[in-house]
Structure 1
Amino acid sequence: MAKSTAQKINELLNLQDKSKADLARAIGVSNQTVTLWCKELDQGGSEPKKDKMIPIAAFFGVSPLALIALDDVGEIQSSTDKAEILRIELDESNSKLKPSFIKSFIVTPSLLSQEIPGVNAASIRYVLAFDDSMAETINIGETVFVDTGINDVISDGIYVFTMNKQSFIKRLQRIPDGSLLMISDNKQYEPFTIPSSERASMKVIGKVITSLSLKRIQ
């Protein structure tokens, strides 16, 4: 008899010693939502929506197809160790970039966590650097990987954020008075101070963790 999604989620949580709260926090839903996913439909539960299957699968380090199609959780865990990293959709109306031929990346969560300790594959998204303000650190057109589990400037670093209907990839430095210094590594751009009173208008999408450059070979 085929196992339900609720059974698979419960078994994966038990096998990996993770809690419902861990899953809820990682993919940005309420604890109540995960509780409903873990209950059978005839007991008042609910199925995850399709757009949540990828982050759920990434949280467990399995493929979405395996989570949906396979019956045995052991088979799910051993069948594949893959997670899909999707693109962040930003307003890039002023971008000089051509449309990207890359729609997503497939990574191995277990190896990703070894390379970048503490990072959850379910929280990783990517965006293309759409201007030259961070050159040479991040050049225009580079693929920038972002930890979307970080939604506040918790430490100095490079962040992807929006403000006043504009998108930015900038280095942010915290100031003791609560303001932020927005720094472009390209020295042709002047630093800019974001007063503490205007931080509420910022939406931090995530913190940059690494970037990838693709070079065309003739």
Structure 2
Amino acid sequence: MKEEKAAHPSVIRLLEASGVSQEETAKAIDESPQTITNWKKRGVSKAGALKAAAKYAVSANWILKGEATKNEGVTKVLEWDSDTPIDNDEVEIPFYKEVLVSCGSGSLSEMVGNETRKLRLSKSTLRQYGVDASNAYALTAFGDSMSPVINNGATVYVDVGRTNIVDGKIYAISHGGLFKFKYLYRMPKGGVRIVSANKEEYPEDILTAEEIMDQEFSVVAYAFNVQNSLP
């Protein structure tokens, strides 16, 4: 009788995080049971780890590589109201739930200054990302151009005080009056490269310095954390 090989360690961690069967885990993260069987040989895919991280509130790096701790980098946030006590290690940040930032073709949006909804975010998370509490905002994304990094309906935490482009980071941008989340890269002579995570459906754009002016492109904020909803 042929001895079955042990599953890849990342799959063992995935099933540990889910606490349910392979079939139930597959359904929860919108994958087929056969996909998880395939992962037992080659390891969990990055996209699969990201979806599992969002579903089970664990670190994607922990699933993929066993690095750091199970819950490192995971931020649990709750909607805040006037009756909710704020812990010493928490701050309130404005939550622009109805102001949609597109992860697809774009959406006309306007940041309204009288937003009353709040989310609670830990001070340790802000310190981890070097964000001043006064510059932190939460936005709702829609569309699939940044999936699976930012899924449709995700809550994205941004720093409006950080608009200088660091290559390969995600930013909220305004492009021709449309708000979007995109990867940005600096180009020679003041240009910018705008890249989606879903490259097959959303080709990248490259703007020259002149086109940046003509097309009213600007960096609104740096996206430092995300709480995804599953597809």
TM-score, normalisation: structure 1 = 0.52
Higher relative CO (Cα under 8 Å, sequence separation at least 6) belongs to: 2
Q: Which amino acid aligns with 1:208?
A: A
Q: Which amino acid aligns with 1:192?
A: D
Q: How far does the alpha carbon of each residue in 1:166-217 deviate from its partner, in whole angstroms, 9 at most, with x for none?
A: 111111111123211111110211111121113242232101111012459x
- 1:84 counterpart = 2:92: yes
The whole-number CA distance in structure 2 between the counterparts of 1:164 and 1:143 is: 23
Correspondence for 1:208: 223
Q: Say how many residue pairs are matched.
A: 132
Correspondence for 1:127: 139
Structure 1 residue 151: Cα displacement? 2.6
Q: Which amino acid aligns with 1:199?
A: I
- 1:118 counterpart = 2:126: no
Higher helix share: 1
Q: Note closer, same or farther for the CA distance 1:197–1:143 as it changes in structure 2 (3 Å cut).
A: same
Structure 1 residue 154: Cα displacement? 4.6
Q: Which amino acid aligns with 1:172?
A: L
Structure 1: tracts of 5 or more residues without a match:
1-64, 66-78, 96-101
Q: Is the 8 A contact 1:147 1:207 kept in 2?
A: yes
Q: Note closer, same or farther for the CA distance 1:214–1:136 as it changes in structure 2 (3 Å cut).
A: closer
SS at match of 2:120: strand
The whole-number CA distance in structure 1 between the counterparts of 2:225 and 2:101 is: 21
Q: Is the 8 A contact 2:101 2:139 kept in 1?
A: no
- 1:145 counterpart = 2:157: yes
- 1:163 counterpart = 2:178: no
Higher strand share: 2
The whole-number CA distance in structure 1 between the counterparts of 2:152 and 2:100 is: 15
- 1:107 counterpart = 2:115: no
Q: Is the 8 A contact 1:160 1:208 kept in 2?
A: yes
SS at match of 2:212: helix
Q: Note closer, same or farther for the CA distance 1:123–1:176 as it changes in structure 2 (3 Å cut).
A: same
Once superposed, what is the RMSD of the aligned Cα atoms? 3.0
SS at match of 1:177: helix
Structure 1 residue 90: Cα displacement? 5.2
Structure 1 residue 155: Cα displacement? 4.2
Q: Which amino acid aligns with 1:204?
A: V
The whole-number CA distance in structure 2 between the counterparts of 1:172 and 1:203 is: 11
Q: Note closer, same or farther for the CA distance 1:94–1:148 as it changes in structure 2 (3 Å cut).
A: closer
Q: Which amino acid aligns with 1:176?
A: P
Correspondence for 2:28: none
Q: Which amino acid aligns with 2:209?
A: S
Structure 2: tracts of 5 or more residues without a match:
1-81, 108-115
Q: How far does the alpha carbon of each residue in 1:33-61 deviate from its partner, in whole angstroms, 9 at most, with x for none?
A: xxxxxxxxxxxxxxxxxxxxxxxxxxxxx
The whole-number CA distance in structure 1 between the counterparts of 2:168 and 2:95 is: 24
